Structure 1
Amino acid sequence: MGIPSFYRWVTERYPKCVVSAREDGAFDTRRPNPNGLEFDNLYLDLNGIIHPCFHPQGLPAPKTHEEVFEAIYKYIDRIFSIIRPRKLLFLAIDGVAPRAKMNQQRSRRFKAAKDASDNVVLSDASVPGEGEHKIMSYIRLQRNMPGYDPNTRHCLYGLDADLIMLALATHEIHFSVLREVHILIRD
């Protein structure tokens, strides 16, 4: 999905809503975040990571799948070191076209309690739907769980401008969207 030119419109109209993220290269979640914000959860729409690793701008395309996966791992590590989530890393990949969606949602509801105890959740291509919508579904599910902390700090990474709208629609108090203007990952 996506909203063409929406990100540019928002940043031109409200320039203070965009801040540059600082990096110190540390991977340790026990260290304070160099950006002055601490996050509980990090959600990655992996399609926004996979595509630039297959087709990097200004660099030659990778020759092997190993090179692609290495670039993907470096990309995820870099984002993780910037955000340093304390509780959850949620990885979502666009799934197949939404067929039998109701059955899938029912099974996800039963899995939600188990998933909440893991640190990392992977919603792969076998789960129907776009990655960002699977992330939003998970956040809504967690909000309805007993004991949910309304002060949970969320950070969502992805390249689609519609992530801004989706983040606003969650009505979560602490929600950030991480985007990159241009990124080169490979050595």
Structure 2
Amino acid sequence: MPAPDASELPELSAVDAEIRRLSLATDASELHGALCGWLAGGGDAVREWPAKVLADDGVATPAAGGALDELRTVSAAQLADRSFTFELLLPDVDAPLSERSGALFDWCRGFLGAFGLATGAKPPLSEEGSEALGDIAKLAAAQPQDDGDEEDEAALVEIEEFVRVAVLLLHGDCVLAAQHRQRLN
């Protein structure tokens, strides 16, 4: 069996299985959103990240090399990669629209909570970053619809792409801009 690609997220099912083993009260998409919110807000990519993003010191540290550890390392690398390889951990495109849209909205909810934990009350955001964060908050409050047509499928793809780019923008405002300022001093 070949080694997993270090630039690809682990399978959703592997992340879900580890979440169940650790008895976490979340699903894979929401937890990945929380991880990305934490990282985009300047939180450290430490092995005990679930305790940080869930604000619960009682959460066990994931096993080294396990799906959650891989999720952390790949997500941090994708956010830092300037070639825009960042991706969201969501159900496959063959899953029902309601499942995929619900997972995206859960992802956004996880992102918002952990982003706030990492940045505090006044994150250093550009005007575009503030707008992007507001749009992610609107998506986090949305409810999935039961069914849809090709137009709805296309809209979901566009929303996923928007969230992906918005997260990169927020990471740029909070992490990359701070790193750049440190190098100048």
* Fold shared, TM-score > 0.5 on shorter chain: no
Which structure dedicates a bigger proportion of its chain to strand? Answer: 1
User: When the two structures are superposed, what TM-score results if normalisation uses the length of structure 1?
Assistant: 0.26
User: When the two structures are superposed, what TM-score results if normalisation uses the length of structure 2?
Assistant: 0.27
Which structure dedicates a bigger proportion of its chain to helix? Answer: 2
